Amino acid sequence: MARRSRSSSQHPWLIAAAIVLVGIFVAGAVYFATTSDPYRTAAPLDVTAYLENSNSLRGNTYRAEGEISNVLGYSATEGRLISVTIDASGEIVPMLIPPELGDVNIQKGQKFRFLIEVTDKGILKATHLTKA
């Protein structure tokens, strides 16, 4: 009986300590996550709006993260045109990687974070990208 009473009296402390630790861990993770995205200041790309009417997004800069689906074409002057599956929506969007970013190896299946700009013709043009 005495042993049982002692153990039940220790549980609230243990539970409280665990919650605090988890809270600290989550807060740390969130903080790390938010502070680790270099384009976190940019707004995320609204893929749905883009699919409906890209003209409405022209001139804006967005960030997006996704997986390389395919390389659609390459031009020495214009750069590379790739298709990216956006993680947030699962939609596939085309994206132009200009020659300035030609030093980045891009392959199908790789995940990248992009800072993108919507050009005149509604083409998504990456201005920065980092591997995710």
Q: Considering the complex, what minimum distance in angstroms separates the CB of residue 43 from other proteins?
A: 18
100 is a contact residue toward other proteins (CB under 8 A): no
- The token pair at 37 is 């995205």
| Sequential DSSP letters for 62-75 | EEEEEEEEEEEEEE
User: Are residues 126 and 116 in contact, defined by beta-carbon separation less than 8 angstroms?
Assistant: yes
Count the neighbouring beta carbons within 10 Å of the beta carbon of residue 84: 28
**Does the footprint of other proteins cover residue 68 (CB under 8 A)?**
no
Which of 60, 91, 101, 110 binds other proteins (CB under 8 A)? It is: 91
Which residues in 30-59 contact other proteins (CB under 8 A)?
A: 50-55
Site for other proteins in 4-23 (CB under 8 A): none
Question: If binding is defined by CB under 8 A, does position 116 make contact with other proteins?
Answer: no
Q: Should residue 112 be labelled a site residue for other proteins when binding is judged by CB under 8 A? A: no
Residue 16 CA to residue 103 CA, distance in Å, equals 51
How far, in Å, CA of 83 to CA of 90, rounded?
12
Q: Which residues bind other proteins (CB under 8 A)?
A: 50-55, 69, 72-78, 81, 83, 91-94, 96, 118-119, 121-124
